[in-house]
């Protein structure tokens, strides 16, 4: 299994209770990005949705522009842009602008769109979304590479389209995957990263190794290079100092939001008891509501199931209230990230050398102090 040090980030749809004021919720998500930047997380992803009342960011590009002004180093990803909802030329042009505004901190994540009412509202057939996503992703990829594109389809018409401003950086792209092979196929064909959004569901977990096999196979066929360091797996997490405290925190919104998601995502069942939900999450590996040690064990299971990946994205929602959500991110940064990023081993080596030295440091200090005292007394006596 690949032992590449893990990087950590978060993926926000975002999910908020309907009775949480929308303006407050949006600004809390911005504060979450700022906190993660301070805590050393590497990535923050924000989604696009237009219906349902729970996922309330309509434009990840606008959100990222605001977050970029409030942060310094964290990379900011569209998680994801729903490609069938947009003209690919205009979207590519806006991506380049955001690449310049962030000076290379923008990550382009693409997907087909998930909410049926989003598609209905703009008069498109959601069953066509994956096909349209593939078409759009190809056009955007070619435009970003500097090509001039003339292409007519049943939903866009480009005539000698090109980007008048080149990208600021080599924009990193990533595509979503759940259970179907659409995402892995595109990731391999274009050498893009993979966002496995159902990595801990039974079906999604079972498909992980096959999905990466598709990525590598298609990459080889198309002369592309792919790297497990650009494979991102997601997992719902809420962490506290004790499991009992984490469970109490999660009573705020976990059951409410998971029951909403049961209407959106296949394979989720509605439940009446939050403790039954948490028991199921913790016992099956679907997620973690508990302690840092429980999070460490969960991530190790995900490494085993996948064969190795590069980035762990916490599926972050309003499982708990905002202060306890930030505390969860703090605990993950303090107690979980060091286990996987390589920093803990070196510190442990230094600690072990010191405590197993039979007090060599204290003895050396004591001897040095005695020598200095003797030298001082000899100097005084010599006067």
In this predicted structure, the answer to whether residue 1 has a pLDDT above a threshold of 60 is no
- The whole-angstrom separation of Cα 194 and Cα 157 is 28
Contact, 295 vs 49, CB < 8 A? no
pLDDT digit string (tens) for 327-375? 999 999 999 999 999 888 888 899 999 999 999 999 999 999 999 999 9
3 confidence band (pLDDT: 50, 70, 90): low
3-state percent breakdown (helix, strand, coil) of the chain, nearest 5:
50, 15, 30
In this predicted structure, the answer to whether residue 2 has a pLDDT above a threshold of 60 is no
- The whole-angstrom separation of Cα 35 and Cα 325 is 11
Contact, 250 vs 242, CB < 8 A? no
pLDDT score, position 26:
98
Q: What is the mean pLDDT of the chain?
A: 96
pLDDT score, position 267:
81
In this predicted structure, the answer to whether residue 36 has a pLDDT above a threshold of 90 is yes
98 confidence band (pLDDT: 50, 70, 90): very high
In this predicted structure, the answer to whether residue 249 has a pLDDT above a threshold of 90 is yes
171 confidence band (pLDDT: 50, 70, 90): very high
Residue 222 backbone class (left: φ over 0; alpha: ψ -120 to 50; beta: rest)? alpha
383 confidence band (pLDDT: 50, 70, 90): confident
pLDDT digit string (tens) for 231-241? 999 999 999 99
CB atoms within 10 A of CB 6: 22
pLDDT digit string (tens) for 147-169? 999 999 999 999 999 999 999 99
Contact, 236 vs 295, CB < 8 A? no
What's the mean pLDDT in 101-112?
Answer: 97
Contact, 61 vs 128, CB < 8 A? no
pLDDT digit string (tens) for 54-87? 999 999 999 999 999 999 999 999 999 999 999 9
In this predicted structure, the answer to whether residue 311 has a pLDDT above a threshold of 60 is yes
In this predicted structure, the answer to whether residue 41 has a pLDDT above a threshold of 60 is yes
What's the mean pLDDT in 198-221?
Answer: 96
In this predicted structure, the answer to whether residue 5 has a pLDDT above a threshold of 90 is no
In this predicted structure, the answer to whether residue 4 has a pLDDT above a threshold of 80 is no
Residue listed under structure tokens 């001082």:
376
Within 1-51, residue ranges assigned H as helices are 22-39
Could you tell me the pTM of the whole model?
0.94
pLDDT score, position 33:
98
What's the mean pLDDT in 320-329?
Answer: 98
């Amino acid at each position: 299994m690949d032992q590449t040090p893990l990087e950590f980030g978060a993926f926000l749809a975002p999910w908020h209770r309907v009775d949480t004021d929308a303006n407050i919720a949006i600004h809390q998500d911005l504060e979450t990005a700022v906190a993660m930047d301070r805590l050393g997380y590497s990535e923050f992803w924000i989604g696009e949705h237009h219906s349902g009342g729970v996922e309330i960011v309509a434009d990840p590009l606008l959100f990222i522009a605001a977050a970029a002004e409030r942060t310094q180093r964290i990379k900011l990803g569209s998680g994801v842009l729903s490609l069938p909802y947009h003209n690919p030329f205009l979207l590519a042009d806006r991506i380049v602008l955001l690449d310049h505004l962030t000076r290379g901190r923008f990550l382009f994540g693409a997907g087909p769109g998930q909410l049926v009412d989003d598609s209905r509202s703009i008069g498109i057939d959601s069953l066509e979304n994956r096909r349209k996503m593939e078409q759009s992703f190809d056009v955007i990829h070619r435009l970003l590479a500097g090509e001039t594109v003339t292409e007519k389809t049943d939903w866009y018409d480009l005539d000698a389209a090109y980007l008048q401003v080149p990208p600021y950086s080599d924009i990193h792209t990533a595509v979503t995957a759940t259970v179907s092979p659409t995402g892995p196929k595109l990731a391999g064909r274009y050498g893009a990263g993979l966002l496995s959004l159902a990595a801990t569901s039974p079906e999604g977990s079972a498909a992980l190794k096959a999905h990466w096999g598709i990525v590598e196979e298609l990459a080889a066929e198309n002369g592309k290079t792919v790297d497990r360091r650009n494979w991102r797996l997601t997992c719902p997490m809420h962490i506290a100092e004790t499991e009992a405290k984490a469970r109490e925190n999660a009573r705020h919104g976990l059951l409410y939001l998971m029951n909403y998601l049961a209407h959106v995502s296949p394979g989720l069942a509605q439940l009446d008891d939050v403790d039954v939900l948490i028991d199921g999450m913790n016992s099956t590996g679907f997620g973690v509501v508990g302690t840092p040690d429980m999070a460490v064990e969960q991530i190790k299971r995900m490494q085993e199931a996948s064969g190795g990946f590069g980035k762990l994205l916490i599926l972050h929602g309003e499982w708990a209230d905002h202060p306890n959500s930030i505390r969860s991110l703090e605990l993950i940064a303090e107690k979980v990230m060091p286990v996987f990023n390589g920093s803990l081993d070196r510190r442990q080596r230094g600690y072990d050398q010191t405590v197993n030295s039979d007090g060599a440091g204290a003895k050396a200090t004591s001897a040095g102090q005695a020598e200095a005292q003797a030298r001082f007394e000899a100097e005084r006596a010599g006067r």
